[in-house]
A and B are shown apart, each in its own frame.
Chain A
């Protein structure tokens, strides 16, 4: 049975029908067409599919799509403003904080959730914020450095 789902995605209203029981990851990728969200385990263990729901980081593979009705969902597709990258995106580029790029969307959203509520995080805050996101390539140090750089808001911390 298909059920209607409606939510705000990166500031725009989206609506559609989904299989009852479908998860948000599936609806975003297959119904809405936002392919910036990646699936890594489909069982809530790797953090790759992290999106923000009303500002909080959530695993989209473990979130019922119908439970998002009326909520604000943010994905990495909505992170940049026109030609301008979000400071996190610039910092990830500068710091070589992505290698294969597959965990990057989830990593960026987890980091954004942190910076949105705490613009001056400590290293421990950053580690805590991304501790649910697995990266298998770059290691975590460049990612932590990038998030701290983005929080600094300038490039003075570059090595």
Chain B
């Protein structure tokens, strides 16, 4: 089932890995199969109180008044928590790393900006008592126009969603309304391209749906501290966030967690801990704040929806000479982590392909939707969906095999990326070759011989020289634009001067031969071969 292909790049590896390729039992597995792993809710406390949230039924509304008198008198109710009770009722998650403005209240005070936004909390002796009390709260709302579409939100005169960002875009460095990437001259290259593909992609929000919902229990300790059992994926991140919102030093909080019933990014938002701690402070009792399945699915932050426009300029021989991307991240009503997702998206453009002219604008946009958050590769996943669909369309347009089209355009070692970084330790071509082999997908001989090493076995833009940074749309494009492409095959053999040998070329030798003693310092494999630190392949 698991196979290590050590034959690939064998000359660059010293096989010092001690664990990879060998089975190792996980230390938490016995607990999982015996039902003894302690999740946050597997701790029991006498006189536990339960916190439930009253949520906005409107996507955008002004709160005129809140009448909670009847709820406060309801059986079992110990405390009502209102916006004014929250010590620091405005926060943004990444403020811990000085990234972005505080924009999200724990409990809304004047305006609700998405359906499901917390307005008030009830603390009672049982979940049922808390829910019955919530039903007695009367809130008078004045509904306001709402915006649910990222591009609508950017139009002049659009509803302003988030008071901290009135133009509905996150501000990078308090100044820029989007992430920008420029490399070469995409527009000039489009004019020379044989084919221009302009496409639109949309990915909907996706809920993580962990089997364990978000939750926490805050327990007053005897020394003025609070012990917090939590489902969080980010223990110290949540600790600091909870300390900030409760205006208390973080050494008064002891967070216990790490056993998480599925997270996938949906348990980094510190959704429950701050109010559980506040409730424990206000009542002196242990308080559990557990999201119901309905709350988890409807109001737990999802992967954000993304809209991505990709425009490619492609030559008939299959080379992509220009790529223009316009991407909109739907952050929902507040920032959470989408500002960072847009940075990741911009950093990933144009995908693992050497394209000499790249132009991208990536926006983090506010709408009256549930705030979005992290989820498995967020920022990159939807972009890759768009780019790889685009690659298939490009291959079809020029009549190339989709895998060969990707291999033709793949990064080779030494290529200059649009971000002005040299591509290192590339392996897409080798991955494609192995995948093709496994799937019995026929590759032509020249593609079976291709390599990610410098040069790489195909004549491409700029000829593999060091000069790709400035390579504009290249010469073959000067011919008039042809009729729609029909399937055809062209050769990607390297120029005669660098004709490939029938067998794979001998691996290029760096100054340090593979058999040489490892350099001083760490001999661990990962840093030496990672794309960030790896310098070994020449």
| Interchain CA distance A89-B25 in the complex, whole Å | 13
Judged by a CB distance under 8 angstroms, whether A2 is at the interface is no
Q: CB-CB < 8 A to A35: which residues of B?
A: 35, 38, 42, 44
- Interface pair A76/B293, CB less than 8 Å apart: no
Judged by a CB distance under 8 angstroms, whether A136 is at the interface is yes
Q: State whether A101 and B259 are in contact (beta carbons under 8 Å apart), knowing that A40-B293, A76-B34, A92-B33 are contacts in the complex.
A: yes
Most buried by B among A36, A79, A102: A102
Judged by a CB distance under 8 angstroms, whether A122 is at the interface is no
8 A Cβ contacts from B1-36 to A: 1-2, 25-26, 28-36
Judged by a CB distance under 8 angstroms, whether B237 is at the interface is no
- Interface pair A46/B30, CB less than 8 Å apart: no
Judged by a CB distance under 8 angstroms, whether B260 is at the interface is yes
* Number of A interface residues in the complex (CB < 8 A): 37
Binds B, one of A63-71, A103-111, A113-121, A123-131: A103-111
Q: CB-CB < 8 A to B210: which residues of A?
A: 100, 102, 136
Give the residue name and chain of the A residue nearest to B290 (CB). Answer: A39
Judged by a CB distance under 8 angstroms, whether B392 is at the interface is no
Judged by a CB distance under 8 angstroms, whether A151 is at the interface is no
Q: State whether A137 and B33 are in contact (beta carbons under 8 Å apart), knowing that A100-B211, A102-B211 are contacts in the complex.
A: no
- Interface pair A40/B42, CB less than 8 Å apart: no
- Interface pair B34/A36, CB less than 8 Å apart: yes
- Interface pair A40/B211, CB less than 8 Å apart: yes
- Which one, B2, B25, B39, B262, contacts A93 given CB within 8 A? B25
Most buried by A among B26, B28, B260, B261: B261
Judged by a CB distance under 8 angstroms, whether B212 is at the interface is yes
Q: CB-CB < 8 A to A39: which residues of B?
A: 41
The smallest C-beta distance from A39 to any residue of chain B, in angstroms, reads 8
8 A Cβ contacts from B235-292 to A: 259-264, 292
Interface of A is mostly: loop
* Number of B interface residues in the complex (CB < 8 A): 34
Q: CB-CB < 8 A to A56: which residues of B?
A: none
Judged by a CB distance under 8 angstroms, whether B486 is at the interface is no
- Interface pair A93/B35, CB less than 8 Å apart: no
The smallest C-beta distance from A136 to any residue of chain B, in angstroms, reads 5
Q: CB-CB < 8 A to B209: which residues of A?
A: 136
| Interchain CA distance A34-B32 in the complex, whole Å | 15
- Interface pair A98/B35, CB less than 8 Å apart: no
Give the residue name and chain of the A residue nearest to B1 (CB). Answer: A159
Judged by a CB distance under 8 angstroms, whether B37 is at the interface is yes
| Interchain CA distance A35-B37 in the complex, whole Å | 10
- Interface pair A85/B33, CB less than 8 Å apart: yes
- Which one, B262, B264, B293, contacts A42 given CB within 8 A? B293
Give the residue name and chain of the A residue nearest to B42 (CB). Answer: A35
- Interface pair A101/B42, CB less than 8 Å apart: no
| Interchain CA distance A103-B63 in the complex, whole Å | 40
Q: CB-CB < 8 A to B2: which residues of A?
A: 159
- Interface pair B293/A43, CB less than 8 Å apart: yes
| Interchain CA distance A38-B210 in the complex, whole Å | 13
- Interface pair B293/A80, CB less than 8 Å apart: no
The smallest C-beta distance from A20 to any residue of chain B, in angstroms, reads 12
- Interface pair B293/A101, CB less than 8 Å apart: no
Q: CB-CB < 8 A to A108: which residues of B?
A: 33
- Which one, A43, A45, A79, A98, contacts B32 given CB within 8 A? A98
Q: CB-CB < 8 A to A46: which residues of B?
A: 211, 293
- Interface pair A79/B34, CB less than 8 Å apart: yes
| Interchain CA distance A75-B35 in the complex, whole Å | 9
The smallest C-beta distance from A86 to any residue of chain B, in angstroms, reads 9
Judged by a CB distance under 8 angstroms, whether A33 is at the interface is yes
Most buried by A among B35, B37, B41, B42: B35
Q: CB-CB < 8 A to A100: which residues of B?
A: 32, 210-212, 260-263
| Chain B proximity mask over A3-39: 1 for CB below 8 Å, otherwise 0 | 0000000000000000000000000000001011111
Q: CB-CB < 8 A to B42: which residues of A?
A: 35
| Interchain CA distance A89-B35 in the complex, whole Å | 10
| Interchain CA distance A136-B208 in the complex, whole Å | 8
5 more A-B residue pairs beyond the given contacts A93-B33, A100-B32, with a C-beta to C-beta distance below 8 A: A40-B212, A96-B26, A101-B32, A102-B262, A104-B35
Q: Which 3 A-B pairs have the closest CB atoms?
A: A36-B35, A101-B32, A102-B261
**27 A-B interface contacts by CB (under 8 A):** A33-B44, A36-B35, A38-B211, A38-B212, A40-B211, A40-B213, A42-B292, A43-B294, A75-B35, A76-B35, A77-B36, A85-B33, A88-B33, A89-B34, A92-B33, A93-B25, A96-B26, A98-B29, A98-B32, A100-B32, A100-B210, A102-B210, A102-B261, A105-B35, A134-B211, A159-B1, A159-B2
Binding site for B on A (CB under 8 A): 33, 35-43, 45-46, 48, 75-77, 79-80, 85, 88-89, 92-93, 96, 98, 100-105, 108, 134-137, 159
